[in-house]
Structures are given as C-alpha cells and as structure tokens.
Amino acid sequence: MVPCDPARSGLQSSIYCHLHPSEARLDISPSSLVVKPWFDQLRVVLVRSRNPLNIGAAARAMSNFGFRNLRLVTPWEPSYLGARAAVGASSVLSNAEVFGSLADAVADCGLVIGTSAVGERELHHPLCLLEQAAELVRQRVATAPVALLFGSEKFGLSNEDLSHCHCLLRIPTRSEHISMNLGQAVAVCLYELVRSAPNAVDPAEYTAANAAEVERITQVLFETLCISGYVHSPGEAAAQESLRRLVRRLNLESSDAEVWLGMMRQILWKTKHPSQR
C-alpha cells in the first residue's frame, strides 16, 4: 500500500491508496490521445484480406489511435463490401483506397515495413523489434509517407510482397501460438507508434526515394540484366524479387534515384542498340 495523497479525495483517493507500489506511478485520471500531424503520413496496407470482421477491426484500431489512411490491395470483394456496409463502419473504412497491386499501393512511400510471424520462414530482410520499427517510422515520416503492411489472414505476406519492403517487424508472441488476429496485430503496432510519440518529428537529413522511384530503377535494371544475359528468363520471379530487395537495401535519396535511373536507362538503350553511338 502507498501513502494517501492529500490532493486526492473520495473514491479516487481510496483507489490510489490501495495500489501496489509498482502501480503507484500511474495517473488514473482520464486522458485522451493527442493526434499528431505526422499520423497522416502513415499508410496501413492490408494485402488480400478476406474476413470483413478483420478488415473492420483494423479500421477501428486505426480510428482509435488517430490514423486515417487505410489501403487495401486486392481484397476479397464480398468481404470488403460487407465491411463497408456494416452498421457503424468507421470513416477510416469508408475512405479506404483499393489498389490492384502492392506496388501501386506503396508507390508514394519512402519506407515500407512488412509484418511477419516469421516462424520457419527464411528471411532476406533486416528484422526489427516492434519498438525499433516504431522509432524508425517516426524518423522517416518527416520526409515521406511510410507504409505498414499486413498480409492475408491465412497466408500472410508472400515473398513477392516482401520484396517491396525495406525491413520486417515481428510482434513477440509465444512460440506455440505465433500468429495474431489481423485486427489485433494492427492495434498493437499502432499503439507502439503512439505510446511515446513525440510532439514533432525532427526533419531527416535527406529525402528518401519513394517506392515508385525505386521500382522504376528495379524494372530498368532487370530489363538490362535480361538483355545482357545475366538473367536468363524475363519471367524469373525469384530473380526479380531478389533484385528488388537489393535495390531497396541501397536506401537511395530521391535526388540520387533520379541520377541512377538516368544512368540505367542510358545503359539499357546502349545494350539494345550496340551499333549506335
């Protein structure tokens, strides 16, 4: 039991006096989350979601924590329409954007973070702790939007999906039950973001290239590698995914990406027209 606070009275004082010492630091007065301007820079992206309850729960979690930008990639249409039509559907869900590909959904983002239960999966990305990923997001939203990806309830994110990511995060769970409900996972990640959110995000030292710029470099480079014979089949998905991950690990600045793209286009043109100067 902790000493009574004379500034507290009635029921509030009684509750406070009977708190365990480890809980005495908590302020039991009600408080509300202060929504920060940078919250609008975060895009929560649900990839191939199928359950309308999960889509609705994810949107509700976003509304709880003050995030508004929900994007859905090829959702199962009956589920998506059912979730939007549900009684009490949030404005987050009503204003959600639907995309035909993940590349389009993250095109404006300078940082893309995928979520994964990992399990026995072979990883090709840096794996961040939840709090590390939250800190990274708060740093990078100063200059460009950031995407947080969640895969389908049944299969998670595919290898092709992960090739669009700069890094991965995993919510620590018991090894006997590693996967989480989609809505719960969204809520946990967003809570970590707002838990110690600063009043302002310090400007970054550089502006990161967004996903669309990086993808253009990837495609031109891949075409060049195919024509040169380094990649033997243009339809070789594994090679393209590997190349996409490689280019993203460069963490190019926007100005540098423009230069790289110009150089790669010139190399591609010369590769296609070897006899011309």
Task: Tell me the C-alpha distance between 156 and 118, whole Å.
Answer: 10
- Look at residue 29 and tell me whether its pLDDT is greater than 60: no
Fold held by 37-195: Alpha/beta knot (3.40.1280)
- Burial string for 143-166 (b: 16+ CB within 10 Å, else e) reads bbbbbbbbbbbeebbeeebbbbbb
Every domain range in the chain assigned CATH 1.10.8? 211-272
Phi, psi of 113 (to 5 degrees): -115, 125
Asked whether the predicted pLDDT for residue 75 surpasses 70, the reply is yes
Scan for tokens 């999906």, then name that residue.
161
Please name the CATH architecture into which domain 211-272 falls.
Orthogonal Bundle (1.10)
Using a pLDDT cut of 70, give the percent of the chain over it: 80
CATH 3.40.1280.10 residue spans of the chain: 37-195
- Comparing CA positions, the residue from 58, 158, 155 lying closest to residue 101 is 158
pLDDT digits (tens, 9 = 90+) for 130-153: 889 998 998 888 889 999 999 988
- pLDDT tens-digit series, residues 169-193: 988 888 778 778 899 999 999 999 9
Find the distance separating the first CA and the last CA of the chain, reported in whole Å: 85
User: Is the pLDDT higher at 120 or at 33?
Assistant: 33
